[in-house]
Amino acid sequence: MLWYKSWLDTRWRFLIGLGVLLVAACGIVFQYPALKNILPTIGAANVPDGPLTRAIEEAVQVARTYRGFVWRQWFDQNFSYLGTFFAALLGSGSPFSGSGRGVLFTLALPVPRSRWLGARAATGLAQLFAFAMIPSVAIALLSPLIGEHFGVGDAVAHAACVFVVSSVFFSLALLLSTVFGDLWRPFLLTCLAAVGLSLGELALPDGYGFFAAMAAESYFRGGALPWTGLSISAALTAALLYAAAANVARRDF
């Protein structure tokens, strides 16, 4: 019953989010044939030399191969933003029934509060895992239709990085949902935290930070997963979920 209720509470957010991600992933694949002949001609030759010019040239150079194009457009950019957005949306909203008498009825059932929260967290993480894996694997499966190849193993590795890091934002939204009874405040506060982190990472060296671990540039360039970033993300997710459980246990509803 707990799993089913958690599914009912989040099913439309999940289904709509999965649909959006699949459409975006398919768009990445099918726009490449139109761009692959244009990319070699793109450059920043008429722009004064500087950090921006070098960044543009490096981005274009990476995107000239199909694997580089998919990584840059999907895992490094679109998927990082969309994954964070939908992770925050999935985690937002009270783990208990609506409001008023619905909350009292839910809490009166012979089930510990920790189990309610555990079911809610497990359902959300399973949905987030599907968000990460299904569109990424779809890219690998659709690539032969345009005469290109993107390895399923690479897709799974990148999707795993997206899942682990985006779980931090899911857990933060879930924690905030034990403080606020509505959907939108936890969602907006989590999004603001994500924006703040992304801006703060601009001051860090390349390859450091949550979003750098999510993009997994080290795997793209050298085949090495960003274990440090993934380990920190997993530990932070566990800490946030523990804080959410502790908050629910002591909260006076």
Number of residues in the chain: 253
What pLDDT, on the 0 to 100 scale, is given for residue 43?
54
Q: Which own/partner pairs from 76-79 qualify as long-range (CB within 8 Å, at least 24 positions apart)? A: 76/215, 76/217, 78/24, 78/28, 79/21, 79/24, 79/135, 79/136, 79/162
Furthest C-alpha separation in the chain: 70
- Quickly list DSSP for 122-142: HHHHHHHHHHHHHHHHHHHHH
Residue extents of the structural domains in the chain: 2-250
Residuewise pLDDT in 10s, the chain (253 residues): 677 778 888 889 999 999 999 999 999 999 988 887 776 665 544 555 555 555 556 666 777 789 999 998 899 888 989 999 999 999 998 766 554 334 444 555 556 667 778 888 999 999 999 999 999 999 999 999 999 999 999 999 999 999 999 999 999 999 999 888 788 999 999 999 999 998 888 888 777 888 999 999 899 988 899 999 999 999 999 999 999 988 887 765 5
What pLDDT, on the 0 to 100 scale, is given for residue 116?
76
- Which residues have CB under 8 Å from 133's CB, separation 6+? 156, 159, 163
What span, in angstroms and rounded, lies between the C-alpha atoms of 103 and 120? 15
What pLDDT, on the 0 to 100 scale, is given for residue 171?
96
**164 Cα distance to chain centroid:** 8
